[in-house]
Structure 1
Amino acid sequence: MTALAPARPPAPQGRAPGPLLLGVRHHGPGSARGVLAALEAARPEAVLIEGPAEADALVALAADPAMRPPVALLAHAVDDPGRAAFWPFAAFSPEWAAIRWALGRGVPVRFADLPAALTLAAGPARDDGEEHAPGADTAAARIDPLAELARAAGHEDPEQWWEDVVELRGDTDPLAPFEALAEAMTVLRERYGHGGHPRDLVREAHMRLRLRDARKEFGDAVAVVCGAWHVPALARRTTVTADRALLKGLPRTKTELTWVPWTHRRLARRSGYGAGIESPGWYGHLFSAPDRPVERWMTEVAGLLRESDHPVSSADVIEAVRLADALAALRGRPRPGLAETTDAVRAVLCGGSDVPLDLVRDRLVVGDVLGEVPAAAPAVPLQRDLDRLQRRLRLRPGAEERALDLDLRGETDAARSRLLHRLRLLGVDWGTPTGGRAGTGTFREPWRLRWEPELHVRVVEAGVWGTTVESAATARAEARALGAGSLGEITDLAERCLLAGLTGALPTVLGALADRAALDTDAAHLADALPALARALRYGDVRGTDTAALAAVAAGLAERICVGLPPACAGLGADAAAQMRDRVDAVHAAITLLPDPDLHPTPDPSTPDPSTPVADSPLVARWAGVLRRLVRGERVPGTIRGRAARTLLDEGWLSEEETGRAMGLALSPGTPPADAAAWIDGFAGGPGGGLLLVHDERLLALLDGWLTGVPAEAFTDVLPLLRRTFGGYEAGVRRTLGELVARGPDAAAPGSAALIPGFAADPDEERADGVLPLLHLVLGPEAAA
């Protein structure tokens, strides 16, 4: 049986006959309570809401128990999903309160604003790219009605004025505030003319037409909830012909609408959404706790601070409430507002510090509340598949930023990783990898997750590529491979495909990669591309992906680098040389990462000739030869020659005697000081450079001798480069180097470490073995393999 609606009481005395026009400020708890009181007093037979007209088919979902605000209506163009608009609603939004009131009493509720088909076809309404929404009355485009009214009342702060006259006070007559506000808006519109966005004329014409249709069906027993600025326009008498003329010929586009979750943080002005409010968490509290709101607020603040290990006692809470009441009385306010409660929290609960107060502002005043939408809401197939995966992998979206550390050895975490990487390929950046991979691959993969409402639009946009996350990501990767403009883009794409487990896209991506690599003759481009391929090969091993085809492409790329890199390093300027030095480092690291075990050289101490490669792999032997050519290159900049010598020494491909000879030549009196300083920066700069000088006093003595011999007029020029080199060392390394230099060259025999603090003459193997159990605990069982 259908419940009978309660009888509608007669119109209050003194109110003119006609529809009930309730002008509100969007997202205001006082306005929301006022709307509920007015609707309960007037008992209309139909309610019209400011919002896109097509949403009538979705309004019934607002009564679903699974629908929890904040939520938003999302409209997007079918042929261009990126063109979209949001209409957000919070629990304290007057429009949402009116919708829930009407649905709870069986009263028809309809949306009266301009259809989204017209709004999206006309283009963005504001500079920030957001379309009109209930929280974004475009009347503020030219004047701010609240500011004008506050100024007329003698208040400098319109937010505080509105809070005093609406949000913090109650009225015995539920209709009186709306009548006063309508009168004020009428005066403002008479004084300033239209004063709003030009599209308001069209919107108001459509709302009048919808209101006429409702009055034909229900008479004057109709209530309209809209922005207060529009009330005079809806009360104005116009003809149907004139209103239809304003709408005639407007462009249209096919649209789809649905409900999507929204967040309190997205409602805040500081998030960049111009339709928002500064304190959605505070407003939500005022709406949900009309009785003793200050006491309840202080209790919530105390609980948050205690969770953060900030001591707060019950006596502190009582004192903070008293101080807020006293401040409100001193400032002539009807009740303590956000300013008074914030001042009291800072003074009493935070001990005068803004550090814990910032936490209160972020977590409570704004907040990370994320709404929920029932499964019955319309959604594109891609969104349905994403919802299914999120449930299966127990990876629920949240408005607050959180860390997620994945262990790729577990199937669930590996599947989570694939999902996040696939979404990133689709432009849905729900997660961001953090921590850096250092080029070696790892079973651990750290992420930072945060779901933003705009990601729903990205999902809709990505829906054109497929109906599931995997198929859409595969199609998107193949399209990007065919349209990639550079070799680096394709290598990066190949790495991302392996991370995402998109084996179906790899043939297309690798084919495009091979074609592009064959045509690109720039050694710098090839050097930039190889590291990504090497990382992809290592990640393929971790994830159990077949990477044989990628390994062949990487090997061919490495061969071409060995041929083209030495000529590319000749005659470079300082900045270009520094970039090329970094490329040499990256290529060397990449070659050591290639998965073929034959590519890893093993130093042979019995090799008589240090210039002979000590590796069995032809590719590594060629790379060692390339580094030797760079060391001896006369036209190669010093920073590259120094780094090549350092790399050869680190790998055991160059003896200490040969390294000393190369350093002696680089620091000889005939070498210009700037070139010698560049060689030092390349050789001793970067990780481990300082320890190398600490352990090899012969190299340190060569450096010390050269530095003391630099002419005074040249020393000023080389000092910045030397400071950059040595400034990068750890404090302990710099201190030890200083002690060694202070002792002088005769303090110990070359190569001896007997007199260096903290070092013994010979390694103590027994003490070294003592750290193995700890390393086993830190690094895990795989470290022992």
Structure 2
Amino acid sequence: MTASGVLAVGEARVTVLGVRHHGPGSARAVRAELERLRPDAILIEGPPEADALVRHAPGLHPPVALLAHVPGAPSRAAFWPFAGFSPEWQAILYGVSAGVPVRFCDLPAAHTLAEEPRDGGEDEPPDARPADPIGTLAAAAGYDDPERWWEDVVEHRSGLGGDAQAHAPAHAPAHGSAAPWFEVIAEAMAAVRDGHVPGEREARREAHMRRTIRAALKQGHTRVAVVCGAWHVPALAGPQPSAAADNALLRGLPKVKAELTWVPWTYGRLASWSGYGAGVTSPGWYHHLFTVPDRPVERWLAEAAGVLRDEGLAVSSAHVIESVRLAESLAALRGRPLAGLSEVTEATRAVLCEGDDLAVELIQRRLVVGDRIGRVPDGVPMVPLQRDLRDQQRRLRLRPEALDRELDLDLRKPLDLERSHLLHRLRLLEVGWGTPGQARGKGTFRETWTLRWRPEHDLALIEHAALGTTVAAAATRRAADRAGGGSAALAELTALVEQCLLAELPEALPAVLAALSARAALDTDVTHLMAALPAMVRAHRYGDVRGTPAEGLAVIVRSMLDRIRIGLPVAVTGLDDDAAADLLKHIDAVHAAVALLAEHTEPVPDAEPAGRAEGERERWLATLRGLSDRQDLHGLIEGRLTRILLDCGELDDAGDRMSRAMSRGQAPARAASWVEGFLSGGGLLLVHDPRLLSLVDGWLTGLSGDQFTDVLPLLRRTFGAFAAPERRSIGQRLRSAGHERDRGDAHDLDDRRAAGAVATVLSIIGRTPARTTEGER
């Protein structure tokens, strides 16, 4: 046993290749070393349950990830991501192409997922293991940036496919083979781990790795290659505990049923980690280093120039040439073998972007991180729900993408309508691929979505696989289950009805409507009914626009409206300011819903004429008229009811009501609340009705200083909600009225009575009365 990464057991030889996860230099080194060693077995750090999935690797398009999950427990899941530049991925591809058995050797996912989730992801003390062993080595070499040290020593080594042989640092090993480098890494990690006592979880992981190595040797393999994180090399190739000690450490571990499959991953998600997958902040840059070993700096900057040109920015070949020179000069000044990401970024900012940080951010997003998303072919095991979604994505031409994509739908078109149905069904299944936004243009036939695929969506589909084999069937079952739980609030059930209509799930509607009807009959809180009604009316309306039958909706809507009309007189009694403001929102929402219901011109269910909806409007307005005459209403409620009735043509004495509300017998605070409620419908009324404007103006000017200070917050909130043109028109109206009063006062001026005042003013300004002219008077 040695600390050089090689373990000899009799005639068998185990070579442990310590790597940096997702390191392109490590990936090239691993591939080169495997081709030199020609092992007869390859062991890779990862969950052993995935051994059967290795055969699918050649058909996958990375980045991809192994997904391990516990059926029925969505919180217990883990991902092991792989990029094309991941050393483990290159080891898998080599093993499959060479016909060499490839197995995973880490602690099984059945044990890992059985553990209670930890905040930090580790169970050892904070000082037991370096947070970043690579950082420890970099600091020992005099580097303050671990990424830069790794790039200098590993990523830019030409013998592994790079372009920096002439610039290799003196401390780098020879390039004729990758083996010396792995020996150096093994020795360095042995020094870093000197005196280290593994925590419980780390000890078990390494014990299982050693057990897997022993099993491979027992099966007759004599040339075993192990690809793992560099941190584990001393534990696998150095002095080791006995097999009995390892077995004792692994005995009695908690266990759950774990299922594994391949799922697409994204470069953006490589910045996070799960399982062994340490994140990298620049996957696009690492992808470039791995796939473009020849003149990587020149090709990178040329690609960056192309990104800027696509955005309409003027970037010439001279810009690219000068940026290359600057990047190479910076690398030379800093003693680096090749310009790294920091140098090319600085050159990009100074030359290509001319100091524009927004342009630099664009390159950061497009190139340094990248928008690449992996692809998993149909032959890979997946649940029927995943397969159905994939088929629909192809049929509807909705390709999953890693970056946000805006999608505008016209529901009058069959293709767009089907797309809408699919996205709404996925939202019911908690698959947030699409997020609805504010539709452009007018009409309920338009929808706008923002699409962005995330790896977690596959986990959500797997978790809901038991609900059905298709997206439609699973969403129907999900809606019925939510309605039948018995704990859903009335507003939740009405929202669920709306979702079922948007997703075109007619089979789910009977169960949801039955639950809604039962809940509405038992709910005695009128505010709950008022909060739920708008969604019900929208659902009724959508049923008409989308051509979706909404049987039973009209009956429930009428029943809810009846209960609201009966309960509202009690609900408006004895309200404080906050309660009045909350109830006012509900009144406005119900009023808008009733107006929408009245606009519905198609026959409602049960073969009743559309006039039934108009009758509902009349009964609602009659309820509001009865409330508006009460003397115990909160000023905010009374003012708003007056405005609603006025706008609907139900009042001809609004001026008299305002006069009473703002008379001297009313407290200023209540009068201000009344004005706030009355004017919350907008300021155009004051622009077009001089009498009402005069009443408000007279009331305001009649307040004392203290009274005005007390009501100012309410007035500012009220008038601040008006549109700027409305405020400007009101001001012009008041100015015109003031000028008319001034002119009227001038016509009634008595010159003789004013002569004394004129003489006083003239004396103040230095003029004598004797010199006063008729014009001055």
What's 1:159 paired with?
A: 147
2:20, 2:26 within 8 Å by CA — same for their partners in 1? yes
Q: Distance in 2 between matches of 1:480 and 1:665?
A: 51
Root mean square deviation of aligned Cα? 2.7
What's 1:495 paired with?
A: 498
Identity of aligned residues (%): 57
Shift of 1:52: 0.8
1:408, 1:444 within 8 Å by CA — same for their partners in 2? yes
2:281 alignment partner AA = E
User: Which of 267, 271, 278 does residue 268 from structure 1 map onto?
Assistant: 271
Q: Distance in 2 between matches of 1:271 and 1:366?
A: 18
Q: Which structure 2 residues correspond to residues 267-286 of structure 1 after superposition, within 5 A?
A: 267-269=270-272, 275-286=278-289
Call closer, same or farther: CA 1:525–1:253 in 2, change over 3 Å.
Answer: same
Shift of 1:265: 0.4
What's 1:547 paired with?
A: 550
User: Which of 639, 657, 672 does residue 677 from structure 1 map onto?
Assistant: 672
2:519 alignment partner AA = R
2:5, 2:15 within 8 Å by CA — same for their partners in 1? no
Name stretches of at least 5 consecutive residues in structure 2 with no aligned partner: 159-174, 604-610, 742-777
User: Which of 90, 93, 104 does residue 97 from structure 1 map onto?
Assistant: 90
1:400 alignment partner AA = L
**More off after superposition, 43-52 vs 76-85:** 76-85
Q: Deviations over 1:67-118 (max 9, x none)?
A: 1100001111235354211110001111001111222222221111122112
What's 1:324 paired with?
A: 327
SS of structure 1 residue aligned to 2:663: coil
Q: Distance in 2 between matches of 1:143 and 1:567?
A: 64
What's 2:70 paired with?
A: 77
**More off after superposition, 424-433 vs 244-253:** 244-253
What's 2:28 paired with?
A: 33
Call closer, same or farther: CA 1:82–1:234 in 2, change over 3 Å.
Answer: same
2:333 alignment partner AA = L
1:360 alignment partner AA = I
Shift of 1:24: 0.6
What's 2:346 paired with?
A: 343
User: Which of 605, 612, 618 does residue 621 from structure 1 map onto?
Assistant: 618
1:115 alignment partner AA = P
SS of structure 2 residue aligned to 1:191: coil
**More off after superposition, 215-224 vs 176-185:** 215-224
Q: Deviations over 1:190-247 (max 9, x none)?
A: 23332xx531111111111111222234544111110011111111333222221121
What's 1:429 paired with?
A: 432
1:207 alignment partner AA = M
1:396 alignment partner AA = R
What's 2:479 paired with?
A: 477
Q: Distance in 2 between matches of 1:229 and 1:275?
A: 12
Q: Deviations over 1:283-339 (max 9, x none)?
A: 111111111111111111111111112221111111111111111112222211111
SS of structure 2 residue aligned to 1:73: strand
Q: Which structure 2 residues correspond to residues 202-601 of structure 1 after superposition, within 5 A?
A: 202-235=204-237, 236-269=239-272, 275-435=278-438, 442-483=444-485, 484-594=487-597
Q: Distance in 2 between matches of 1:496 and 1:672?
A: 47
Call closer, same or farther: CA 1:437–1:126 in 2, change over 3 Å.
Answer: same
2:440, 2:446 within 8 Å by CA — same for their partners in 1? no
Shift of 1:14: 12
Q: Distance in 2 between matches of 1:185 and 1:218?
A: 29
1:54 alignment partner AA = E
What's 2:691 paired with?
A: 698
Shift of 1:119: 1.5
User: Which of 14, 34, 40 does residue 45 from structure 1 map onto?
Assistant: 40
What's 1:607 paired with?
A: none
Q: Does 1:649 align with 2:646?
A: yes
1:630, 1:640 within 8 Å by CA — same for their partners in 2? no
Q: How many pairs were matched up?
A: 707
What's 1:189 paired with?
A: 193
SS of structure 2 residue aligned to 1:54: helix
Q: Distance in 2 between matches of 1:574 and 1:307?
A: 56
Greater than 6 Å deviation, 4+ residue runs:
13-16, 138-141, 270-274
Q: Deviations over 1:367-407 (max 9, x none)?
A: 11100011011111111111122122222211111111111
Q: Distance in 2 between matches of 1:532 and 1:274?
A: 45
Shift of 1:155: 2.0
2:41, 2:221 within 8 Å by CA — same for their partners in 1? no
Call closer, same or farther: CA 1:344–1:309 in 2, change over 3 Å.
Answer: same
Name stretches of at least 5 consecutive residues in structure 1 with no aligned partner: 1-12, 133-137, 601-613, 749-785
SS of structure 1 residue aligned to 2:99: coil
What's 1:168 paired with?
A: 156
Q: Distance in 1 between matches of 2:575 and 2:277?
A: 50
1:732 alignment partner AA = P
**More off after superposition, 257-266 vs 100-109:** 100-109
Q: Distance in 2 between matches of 1:31 and 1:348?
A: 32
Q: Distance in 1 between matches of 2:114 and 2:7?
A: 38
TM-score, normalisation: structure 2: 0.87
What's 2:660 paired with?
A: 665
Shift of 1:715: 1.4
2:80, 2:275 within 8 Å by CA — same for their partners in 1? no
2:421, 2:504 within 8 Å by CA — same for their partners in 1? yes
SS of structure 2 residue aligned to 1:103: helix
Call closer, same or farther: CA 1:700–1:272 in 2, change over 3 Å.
Answer: farther
